[in-house]
A and B are shown apart, each in its own frame.
Chain A
Amino acid sequence: MSKQKTARSAIEALMAGYEKLGYVSDEQIATALYLAQKLEKPLLVEGPPGVGKTELAKATAEYLGLNMIRLQCYEGLDEGKALYEWQYGKQLLYTQVLKEKLGDVMQGAETLDESMTRLGGFEDVFFSEQFLQTRPLLEALRADDGIVLLIDEIDKSDDEFEAFLLEILSDYQISIPELGTVKAKKPPLVFLTSNNTREIGDALKRRCLHLYIPFPDAERENTILQARVPELDDGLRANVVNFVQAVRDMDLKKPPAVSETIDWARTVVLLNMNVLEADFVKNTLNVLLKFKSDIENVESDLPRLMRESQSPEAAAE
Chain B
Amino acid sequence: MIADFVRILRAADIRVSPAETLDAAEIFDTIGFDDRNILKHALGQTLAKTETEKLAFDEAFESYFRLPEETPPPMAAAQEEGESDDKSAEQNSGEGQAQEAVQEGNPEGGQEGGAPSDSANQSLSEMLENNDMAALQAAMQQAATEAGLANAKLFTQQGMFSRRIMEAMGLAELEARIRQMNEGGETQEADKLREGRARLFDAVQDFVERQIAMRTKNAGRLLREDALSRIRLSNLDKSDMKIMRELIRKLAKRLASRHSRRRKKAQRGVLDIRRTMRANVAYDGKLFNLAWRRVKVERPKLIVLCDVSGSVAAVSRFFLMFLYSLDEGMPKTRSFVFSNRAGEITDVLQEGDLEEAMENALRQYGGGSTDYGMSMMDLAEATLDSVDKKTTLMVLGDARSNYGDPGHLVLKEFYERAGRVIFLNPEPETVWDTGDSEMKKLGAYCTHKQSCNSVKHVERVLDDLLRLSS
Residues of A within 8 A of B (CB): 1, 3-4, 7-8, 11, 27-28, 31-32, 35, 38-39, 41, 44, 76, 78, 88, 92, 158-160, 199, 202, 205-212
Looking at the complex, which one of B26, B33, B50, B261 makes contact with A39 (CB distance below 8 Å)?
Answer: B26
Instruction: Enumerate chain A residues within 8 angstroms of B270, measured Cβ to Cβ.
Output: 78
Q: Main SS of the interface on chain A?
A: helix
> A4 touching B48 by the CB < 8 A rule?
no
Q: Among A39, A76, A199, which residue has the most Cβ atoms of chain B within 10 A?
A: A39
Q: Which residue of A lies closest to B265 (CB)?
A: A160
Q: Which residue of B lies closest to A32 (CB)?
A: B45
> B264 touching A158 by the CB < 8 A rule?
yes
Instruction: Enumerate chain B residues within 8 angstroms of A38, measured Cβ to Cβ.
Output: 30
Instruction: Enumerate chain B residues within 8 angstroms of A31, measured Cβ to Cβ.
Output: 38, 41-42, 45
> B27 touching A35 by the CB < 8 A rule?
yes
| B328 CB → nearest A CB, Å | 12
Does chain A have a CB within 8 A of B32? yes
Nearest first, the 6 closest Cβ-Cβ pairs linking A and B are A4-B32, A31-B41, A4-B34, A205-B49, A210-B49, A209-B45
Instruction: Enumerate chain B residues within 8 angstroms of A76, measured Cβ to Cβ.
Output: 267-268
Instruction: Enumerate chain A residues within 8 angstroms of B23, measured Cβ to Cβ.
Output: 39, 41
Instruction: Enumerate chain A residues within 8 angstroms of B30, measured Cβ to Cβ.
Output: 3, 7, 35, 38-39
A39 to B264, CA, bound (A): 35
Q: Main SS of the interface on chain B?
A: helix
Q: Among A28, A41, A160, which residue has the most Cβ atoms of chain B within 10 A?
A: A28
Q: Which of B13-21, B301-309, B441-449 contacts A (4 or more CB under 8 A)?
A: B13-21
| A32 CB → nearest B CB, Å | 5
Instruction: Enumerate chain A residues within 8 angstroms of B38, measured Cβ to Cβ.
Output: 7-8, 11, 27, 31
Residues of B within 8 A of A (CB): 15, 17, 19-20, 23, 26-27, 30-35, 37-38, 41-42, 45-46, 48-51, 54, 260-261, 264, 267-268, 270-271, 287
> A210 touching B261 by the CB < 8 A rule?
no
> A3 touching B32 by the CB < 8 A rule?
yes
Instruction: Enumerate chain A residues within 8 angstroms of B48, measured Cβ to Cβ.
Output: 210
| A166 CB → nearest B CB, Å | 12
> A206 touching B51 by the CB < 8 A rule?
no
A210 to B48, CA, bound (A): 7
Q: What are 14 residue pairs bridging A and B, where the CB atoms are less than 8 Å apart in the complex?
A: A3-B30, A4-B33, A7-B38, A11-B38, A27-B41, A31-B38, A35-B30, A39-B27, A92-B287, A158-B261, A159-B260, A206-B19, A206-B20, A210-B49
A103 to B222, CA, bound (A): 73
| A68 CB → nearest B CB, Å | 22
| A106 CB → nearest B CB, Å | 15
Q: Which residue of B lies closest to A6 (CB)?
A: B30
Instruction: Enumerate chain B residues within 8 angstroms of A28, measured Cβ to Cβ.
Output: 41
A132 to B286, CA, bound (A): 21
Q: Which residue of B lies closest to A196 (CB)?
A: B51
> A4 touching B261 by the CB < 8 A rule?
no
> A159 touching B264 by the CB < 8 A rule?
yes
